[in-house]
Amino acid sequence: MNDHRNGLPKLATLRSDSNNCRLYWWRVVPNNEQCSRVASKTCSIRTFRRVLLFRFMYENWLIFEFSNYRSQRVSGLNRKMTIRWCKELKYMQSELPVDTTTSEYNTPYQIEPGTQMGLTALASFPGSGNTWLRYLLQQSTGILTGSIYKDYGLLKTGFPAENVCNNSVLLVKTHEWGPKAWALFSKALLLVRDPEKAILAEFNRQSGGHVGFASPDRYKRTRGKYWQQFVANKLHGWELMNLNWARNFTGNIKIIFYEDLVNKLEPVLRNILEFLEFPINETLLNCALVRKEGIFRRKKRILSFDPYTPAMRVQLREKKQYVYTILGRLS
């Protein structure tokens, strides 16, 4: 690596997604306007941000970031799985024509300065099926869905409008709650799932990505204390998220239960599209029903043990009954 003696800066490039990164070290060749790669290193993005970035900044490195590194997790989605869309996905325009087959239907929507946003939120606690519902809506409408986040794994595998939060998308994904989070939206879909399944799905996502699984050893980490604390924290968050949206959001809100989405998909999708005031295209809707599984639904896996202790199950059952009763699910 070139040092300060010839007056040239140190150089590194970073390729990253939301979880991992690969860092390359380059040697600057004097009087040649070229660089040669001398080393590379794979690391977690957290490690880079907390440790390596500080060190490189301190030592006067130049770092250029390219957001197209593919970790093994994202690579698996890209190379082994492909999505067949019912229709080429497009951004939405301000006024949808009645005839949804016209070419005008596919033109991007240009937002005028000062226009009231009036966005629709797709709010849910993590692990509740938000990504799957976004997939179903994109299939049944041909319109992109957005997100307040930028998940590179999703960005590259079917959700190119990640991090888009304006009227050019059908609705916007969020896991946040509170006045600041609600300020963006005039209406909301609240997707609610059984906390037992949602917490387990989120634990799997954090350990194995959107379609992967946590290894059995993860549940036994620190003699099970990590998992116990995870369940306690997430159960509290599940209650806060769902009740705050249901009770305190001042806009129009529709509550969707994940179990209904699984068992009564067609009528639930129709109700959602009516709530969104989006014209139903029967051809697209039927296509979405045929391709309902997609690649973003985690396959079922049977563990050789019950990750939830009897005490955990009591807490889960009590909290679920309390929240579901308030939401009108249970008598």
Domain ranges of the chain: 4-69, 76-326
Question: Which amino acid, one-letter code, is at 192?
Answer: V
Please provide residue 92's backbone torsions phi and psi, each rounded to the nearest 5 degrees.
Answer: -90, 150
- pLDDT above 60: residue 139: yes
Q: Which two tokens stand for residue 144?
A: 């992109």
Query: What is residue 22's predicted lDDT score, i.e. its pLDDT?
Result: 60
Does residue 18 or residue 265 have the better pLDDT?
A: 265
Tens digits of residue pLDDT in 276-294: 999 999 999 999 999 998 7
**Most confident segment among 61-65, 122-126, 158-162, 206-210:** 122-126
Q: For the whole model, what pTM was predicted?
A: 0.67
CATH domain 76-326 topology: Rossmann fold (3.40.50)
Euclidean distance between CA atoms 128 and 133, whole angstroms: 9
| Model pLDDT for residues 171-202, shown as the tens digit of each residue | 999 999 999 999 999 999 999 999 999 998 88
SS3 151: coil
Query: What's the CA gap between 233 and 319, in Å, rounded?
Result: 13
d(CA 237, CA 126): 10
Rounded to 10 degrees, the C-alpha dihedral 200/265/292/317 comes to 10
What local confidence, expressed as pLDDT, does residue 120 receive?
A: 97
Determine the number of helices (DSSP H) and then strands (DSSP E) in the chain: 13, 9
72-86 burial code (b ≥16 CB/10 A, e <16): ebbebbeeeeebebb
What average pLDDT does range 111-133 have in this prediction? 78
Mean pLDDT, rounded, for 5-13: 46
How sure is the predictor about 4, in pLDDT bands with cuts at 50, 70 and 90? very low
Give the alpha-carbon dihedral of 155, 158, 164, 165, to 10 degrees.
-130
Sign of CA dihedral 275, 276, 281, 283: negative
Average pLDDT (89-107) is: 48
3-class SS at 136? helix
Work out the mean pLDDT of the chain and round it to a whole number. Answer: 74
Per-residue model confidence as pLDDT tens digits over 52-79: 444 444 344 444 444 333 333 333 344 3
pLDDT value for 114: 41
- Is residue 103 classed as helix, strand or coil in its secondary structure? helix
Express each pLDDT in 222-241 by its tens digit: 666 778 888 899 999 999 99
**Residue owning tokens 């000062």:** 114
